[in-house]
Amino acid sequence: MTKKVRVRYAPSPTGHLHIGNARTALFNYLYAKHLGGSFIIRTEDTDAKRNVEGGEESQLNYLKWLGIKWDEGADIGGEYGPYRQMERLDIYQKYVDELLERGLAYKCYMTEEELEQEREEQRANGQVPKYSGAHRDLTEEQIEQFEAEGRQPSIRFRVPDQKTYTFQDIVREKITFESSDFGDWVMVKKNGIPTYNFAVAIDDHLMEISHVLRGEEHISNTPKQMMIFDAFGWEPPQYGHMTLILNENRKKLSKRDEHILQFIEQYKNLGYLPEALFNFIALLGWSPVGEEEIFTQEQFIEIFDPERLSTSPAIFDPAKLKWMNNQYIKQASLEEVVELSRPHLIAAGRLSENMDEVTKQWAIDVIRLYHDQLSYGAEIVELTELFFKEDIQYDEDAMNVLKEEQVPEVITGFLSQFEQIEQLSPDNIKAAIKATQKETKQKGKKLFMPIRVATTGQVHGPELPNAIHLLGPEIVKARLNNVLSLIK
């Protein structure tokens, strides 16, 4: 086997790109790039029942969106193709025939009903269900009888007796299995399609895969794949099994956890930045040296060290992801933030797709107010609500401000100053507030909070003169008069 580092991510086209799968792809990508190796995409599409139309394209598109690039794959080719398993059936057949010929595999004619009955009996006897080997040594007569009945055989690998399988896991160090833990397992299904553990072992060898980084749910698959490597006298890759991703309650991240969005597409649609998501996922089960948490992709490639893959489960913290995305948004240009946010205002019916230039600039100025506050694009709809509703419903905090004794004087004074402004601008609004302070002798919160609540309906918000300017004179006057009628 070549000494060059070659790793692979092997998606099944059964749906959208999940956070866990994206992490597997990302860690393999970083590992390969850090060591100057190759990153391969291999599509494992043998489970036809679960495959969905467009599944492969969707997965690849969202990997690209995240910024992950590969050196070989079904879409770009390479020297080790084909890169879809269903296009490699002839390749697998050669190795199936060899194992059958050598007696290391055999045909099993048991029906699903017979297999289930066998499992039920084992459970009833307190045993862990596994194939008994009932068809391990069929006679020619038995085979002829089964075929005369029209039974379609599967092909099972003959698990060696009393053999220990040990491998040095990149993450978990030494892991050992006994062959007695396994029954003879199905290599090729009745429909002639190879199973995962057989096909992946053949592919990993022929594609000269040097390292396999994957989720810990694959640990129990590893000895089966090692059996295939042993059978052909091949050197297996070095395996590394990453820990589970847990939710905030330290429960395994499940697709039923609806409070946690788990697909990359959902984050893209909400207006998260791919660089932020890449950064966040890279820290799910891997940690850099030091306290810094924000890195570019190039920095990750430089510092990625598999020795720092965690042996403890990773915690998926949505609040941290929002914080991290906000850090990236703060560093983004206003143009980028507008592109991220404006589609959500259009989708919410707040803006038209065919805006005139004046409205377009107004929308840019509104979004600018929340540039540093924005956590993700879709959040702009909630943040800018004050600019798009006619009537304000004052919450408890707002009403507590409006009940203060100086409020009528402050609002009356500011309304008077505001009506005298000839050219509305943030600077002139600031001057009107200053004049109100001089006239009423109120300052600080006693001055600003009533004006903020009356004009915006909020006790916190963006720079007040800028917000009032963008609300426009008619809305501001109407809201000020409304508050006066409310509190008198």
**Cα(142)–Cα(134) distance, rounded to whole angstroms?**
12
**Cα(16)–Cα(7) distance, rounded to whole angstroms?**
22
Q: Which residue has the tokens 């396994």?
A: 182
Residues 6+ apart with CB under 8 A from 221: 196, 197, 200
Asked if residues 209 and 31 have their Cβ atoms less than 8 Å apart, the reply is no
Asked if residues 107 and 143 have their Cβ atoms less than 8 Å apart, the reply is yes
**Cα(241)–Cα(212) distance, rounded to whole angstroms?**
8
**DSSP letter for each residue of 113-150:** HHHHHHHHHHHHTTPPP----TTTT--HHHHHHHHHTT
**Cα(142)–Cα(149) distance, rounded to whole angstroms?**
11
Q: Which residue has the tokens 């895969």?
A: 209
Indicate if 389 belongs to the active site: no
Please identify which of the residues 4, 255, 443, 445 carries the catalytic annotation.
Answer: 255
Asked if residues 242 and 214 have their Cβ atoms less than 8 Å apart, the reply is yes
Catalytic amino acids? 255
